[in-house]
């Protein structure tokens, strides 16, 4: 097993509501329930508190670094937005009463644009060169849980407590697409497969997989989480980790779908609310309903992935097959590996199925409570917010899904070397 060490948790004075990791330095920003923001430099031996400030009257609901890491934004239950200098925590600009309801979600789209979502489903886009919001979106009816942004498509994707997924062309005032009602709170989202797929986590513990541009309903799903999926963190284009209200951080591959072990455990009755991957991919950081930030060593996964992919390159070069092999680009922020499903092109990944996946799919259709880490699949009320008063979800029925016709595999699937590496460390 790897001898790599892991930093001890960062202990804070109060409950952590949100945190973010600097894009290029060992800095971590945390927003607390008492309205404070802390900035730490983390390390193996010790963590250094660089500064703290209290820019909010009420709880800090979200924090994020700007893309270059020189500044940060914070949002609060008091409906304000703060813009800070990351070198010393000085508030450079503040906006009061930005929404009619408390803010709950925050996303920095680029150097100039910021998106905020509130407890009643309103999303606003802000340009830091203008005093007022440049766009206001009002299609959602309950809290905005999380947003992601596809810069190539200029499209914002949001999920929320009303059970809908929405997409927005940020250049236009109207909704681009709205999903059918999912009859479940949608709590987390990330984009994978080079932005061709969206993976969404729900209150009932279902991971749903959506095709980009086809937003009416999901195309596949993964069951097995026994309770809500509150956080999703992308490790590479084929692999994510999930944080659940049962306190467990799981490693999951997407298309083919599968669970590959446990990365961390907060303990019983300690939900995992947020997950972030460090800029150098050495550590995964998580937070929950306590006053600490926990570190989990994942660097060995990426180190071994690089070695395995380099071996594949040499072998294929010797065979002169002419195929493109996966490799780890040490200067980039993601892993690119040999596609598990064969050819990495723009074709729909759902067209490929291995025999194992076919059996797994049939099993899920017959028994949705089947297994991965647990055979339980019960809904759990994990509300803990200092002001949670969410309205009832819409009872609009979800349209009946058509049975998808299965297609024969085009090429025998190769087991992800990322997953194989992980198994070395979990037995």
Nearest alpha-carbon partner for 23 in 74, 84, 81, 64? 64
Whether the Cβ atoms of residue 159 and residue 121 lie closer than 8 Å to each other: no
**Residue in the block written with tokens 């690119």:** 336
Instruction: Kindly state the DSSP code that residue 158 receives in the 8-state scheme.
Output: E
- C-alpha 176/C-alpha 215 separation (Å) is 10
User: Would you tell me how many other CB atoms lie within 10 Å of the CB of residue 132?
Assistant: 10
Structure tokens at 368: 């949705």
Strands 27-32 and 16-21: antiparallel
Q: Is 405 exposed, middle or buried (0-12, 13-18, 19+ CB in 10 A)?
A: exposed
Q: What string of pLDDT tens digits covers the 427 residues of the chain? A: 445 789 999 999 999 999 999 999 999 999 999 999 999 999 999 999 999 999 999 999 999 999 999 999 999 999 999 999 999 999 999 999 999 999 999 999 999 999 999 999 999 999 999 999 999 999 999 999 999 999 999 999 999 999 999 999 999 999 999 999 999 999 999 999 999 999 999 999 999 999 999 999 999 999 999 999 999 999 999 999 999 999 999 999 999 999 999 999 998 889 999 999 999 999 999 999 899 999 999 988 787 555 555 555 544 444 443 333 333 232 233 333 323 233 333 344 434 333 344 444 444 444 443 334 443 333 334 334 454 333 333 333 333 333 434 333 333 344 444 544 444 434 3
């Amino acid at each position: 097993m790897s001898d790599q060490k892991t930093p001890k948790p960062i202990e804070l004075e109060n409950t952590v509501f949100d945190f973010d990791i600097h894009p290029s330095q060992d800095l971590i920003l945390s927003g607390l329930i008492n309205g404070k923001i802390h900035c730490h430099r983390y390390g193996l031996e010790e963590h250094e508190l660089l500064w703290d400030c209290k820019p909010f009257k009420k709880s800090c609901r979200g924090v994020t670094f700007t893309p270059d890491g020189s500044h940060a934004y914070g949002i609060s239950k008091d409906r304000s937005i703060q813009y800070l200098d990351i070198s010393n925590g000085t508030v450079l600009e503040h906006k009061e009463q930005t929404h009619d309801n408390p803010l709950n979600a925050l996303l920095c789209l680029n150097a100039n644009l910021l998106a905020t979502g509130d407890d009643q489903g309103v999303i606003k886009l802000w340009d830091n060169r203008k005093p007022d919001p440049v766009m206001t979106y009002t299609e959602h009816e309950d809290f905005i849980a999380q947003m992601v942004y596809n810069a190539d498509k200029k499209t914002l994707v949001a999920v929320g407590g009303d059970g809908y997924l929405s997409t927005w062309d940020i250049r236009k005032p109207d909704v681009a697409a709205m999903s059918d009602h999912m009859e479940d709170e949608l709590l987390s989202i990330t984009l994978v497969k080079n932005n061709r797929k969206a993976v969404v986590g729900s209150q009932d513990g279902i991971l749903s997989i959506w095709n980009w541009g086809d937003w009416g309903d999901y195309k596949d799903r993964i069951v097995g989480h026994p309770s809500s999926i509150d956080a999703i963190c992308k490790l590479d284009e084929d692999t994510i980790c999930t944080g659940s209200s049962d306190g467990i951080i799981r490693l999951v591959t997407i298309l083919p779908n599968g669970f590959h072990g446990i990365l961390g455990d907060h303990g019983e009755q300690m939900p995992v609310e947020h997950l972030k991957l460090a800029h150098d991919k050495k550590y995964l950081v998580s937070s929950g309903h306590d006053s600490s930030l926990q570190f989990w060593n994942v660097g060995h996964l990426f180190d071994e992935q690089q070695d395995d992919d380099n071996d594949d390159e040499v072998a294929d070069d010797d065979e002169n097959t002419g195929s493109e092999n996966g490799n780890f680009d040490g200067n980039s922020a993601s892993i690119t590996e040999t596609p598990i499903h064969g050819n990495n092109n723009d074709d729909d990944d759902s067209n490929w199925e291995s025999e194992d996946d076919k059996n797994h799919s049939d099993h899920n259709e017959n028994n949705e409570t089947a297994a991965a880490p647990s055979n339980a699949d019960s809904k759990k009320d994990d509300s803990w917010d200092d002001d949670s008063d969410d309205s009832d979800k819409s009872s609009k029925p979800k349209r009946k899904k058509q049975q998808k016709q299965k297609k024969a595999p085009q090429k025998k699937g190769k087991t992800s070397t990322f997953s194989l590496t992980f198994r070395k460390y979990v037995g």
